[in-house]
Amino acid sequence: MSNSDKKIGLFTASSVIIANMIGTGVFTSIGFQAMGIESGFALVFLWIVGGVVALCGALVYGEIGSRFPGSGGEYHYLSQIYHPAIGFLSGWVSITVGFAAPVAAASMAMSKYVSYLYPALPKSGFAASVVLVISIIHAVHFGIGKGFQNVFTTLKVAIISVFIAAGFWAKSEGDANFSLNTEAYTSIFSAAFAISLYFVGYSYSGWNAAAYIAGEIENPQKNLPKALLIGTGTVTILYVLLNYIFIKVSPLQEIKGQVEVGAIASTHVFGQIGGKLISIIIALLLISSISAMVMVGPRVSEAMGKNYAILRFLSKRRNNTPLVAIFVQGLISLFFIFTATFDQVITYIGFTLNLFLFMTVIGVFIARYKQKSLNYTGYKTFLYPFTPLLFLFIETWVLIYGLIYKPIESQLGLLTVFSGFIIYYLNKVKKRG
């Protein structure tokens, strides 16, 4: 078998990116964006901006991944670019926020969709039950769900495509204005627009998966940028069109503040019975997102446990599974479910994770400076330095507005990062002892 046969081709690379991006957010977040923005143009433009930011970030991560090959993502990159302490903070945030909070958010969203069919359902209890059941399954059986992720991703794309096609034919019952007028301009430069990008960014999360496979792609200088364009571009088109349909078929007052916007819009497109059917399908598809994060997240925690003595308990395995790490992540998810609302969890996730995305993208400038004497021949960021600068400009805008207008969630994010410093210091003390 030739070496090229072992490499990932363009189609597979694009599919991996799409699979990692399509998750909970696109079915749940437009209702919260509509609470502060009523311009149809601005609401759709949100998703275009989100796609551009994701593409810029993915292109930069492609170069970072090529310059610093190895597993671990930001944990590995930031340790190499800055200092092991910064890498540890990134890993600490992955343990406490990166997977546990999205698991909670997806479970909360699933409970909302199920409660759309059964209004008497205890939402928090149902969401907690979903986390517990899936965590137990992964704790006792390593292979569960592993072979179904591509199938579920295909189903998601198919359902979104069918819904979009049906939505264009459906009667327009929405009342949002899609014109580029004064209201649209005002909305785009408002605090609500910046805060809404947290929800959009959550929906697009997964674009950084491209960095993890950069070294495995056949002819990466040629195929990596193509895969990034195809993968992120495909998701952007689907997201923009899907949210346009949500707004086109549903009155804004009906979807404002609602998580189950897919169910509400489906009722307008397919009627009551069709809407309930789509709600059931979306709820089932959310299981794949929860399962994937319950599968991957504890293995990040396990890796941290192997490298740091103070977290050694997270590396304990049983039946070929990181049992303790799964249990700990599940407890953190339950904490979010019972103490926060869906939009608070998303803002907390967005602010905290964006800090490290921001630092990683800045790292491309530092890496080029540090390695300027090397004859680097790997993948280089397309349209550098414009690409990383555009990403950093938008992220700075979002982070500042987050601190100003969502102070509690943002400060909790900073507190989470600070707690990581304490754990890192205690680990050094324990190591010396």
CATH number at residue 378: 1.20.1740.10
Q: Does residue 217 surpass a pLDDT of 80?
A: no
The domain of 288 spans 3-432
Q: What long-range pairs does 268-276 form, CB within 8 A, spacing at least 24? A: 268/170, 268/171, 268/173, 269/163, 269/166, 269/167, 269/170, 269/245, 270/166, 276/116, 276/117
Quote the CA–CA distance of 359 and 85 in Å, as a whole number.
13
Predicted confidence band of residue 433 (pLDDT cuts 50, 70, 90): low
Tokens representing 101?
């909070």
User: According to the model, what pLDDT value does residue 213 have?
Assistant: 63
User: According to the model, what pLDDT value does residue 25 have?
Assistant: 81
Most confident of 197-206, 306-315, 358-367: 358-367
* Region 166-177 average pLDDT: 87
Q: Does residue 5 surpass a pLDDT of 60?
A: no
* Region 56-84 average pLDDT: 84
Q: Does residue 9 surpass a pLDDT of 90?
A: no
User: According to the model, what pLDDT value does residue 147 have?
Assistant: 46
Quote the CA–CA distance of 405 and 262 in Å, as a whole number.
27
Predicted confidence band of residue 81 (pLDDT cuts 50, 70, 90): very high
User: According to the model, what pLDDT value does residue 156 have?
Assistant: 77
- Judged by average pLDDT, the poorest of 8-17, 335-344, 412-421 is 8-17
Could you give the number of structural domains in the chain? 1
* Region 38-56 average pLDDT: 94
Predicted confidence band of residue 305 (pLDDT cuts 50, 70, 90): confident
Quote the CA–CA distance of 287 and 229 in Å, as a whole number.
28
User: According to the model, what pLDDT value does residue 399 have?
Assistant: 92
Cβ(32)–Cβ(201) below 8 Å: no
**Residue type (1 letter), 123:** K
* Region 49-71 average pLDDT: 86
* Region 113-129 average pLDDT: 88
* Region 114-135 average pLDDT: 89
366 or 353, greater pLDDT: 366
- Judged by average pLDDT, the poorest of 142-156, 161-175, 248-262, 291-305 is 142-156
Task: For residue 189, count other CB atoms closer than 10 A to its CB.
Answer: 10
pLDDT digits (tens, 9 = 90+) for 219-268: 776 777 788 888 888 899 999 999 999 999 999 999 998 888 888 898 99
* Region 369-385 average pLDDT: 86
Tell me the pLDDT of the chain averaged across its residues. 85
Q: Does residue 1 surpass a pLDDT of 50?
A: no
Continuous segment of H or E residues that includes residue 235 = helix 220-249
Burial of 201 (0-12, 13-18, 19+ CB in 10 A): buried
Q: Does residue 72 surpass a pLDDT of 70?
A: no
DSSP 3-state of 114: helix
Continuous segment of H or E residues that includes residue 387 = helix 386-405
User: According to the model, what pLDDT value does residue 333 have?
Assistant: 94
- Judged by average pLDDT, the poorest of 17-21, 111-115, 179-183, 277-281 is 17-21
Predicted confidence band of residue 145 (pLDDT cuts 50, 70, 90): very low
User: According to the model, what pLDDT value does residue 37 have?
Assistant: 93
Quote the CA–CA distance of 15 and 54 in Å, as a whole number.
16
C-alpha triplet 396, 401, 402: angle, nearest 5°: 95
**Residue 244 vs residues 105, 124, 378: alpha-carbon distances, Å:** 23, 30, 39
Residue 318, φ and ψ in degrees, nearest 5: -150, 135
User: According to the model, what pLDDT value does residue 121 have?
Assistant: 86
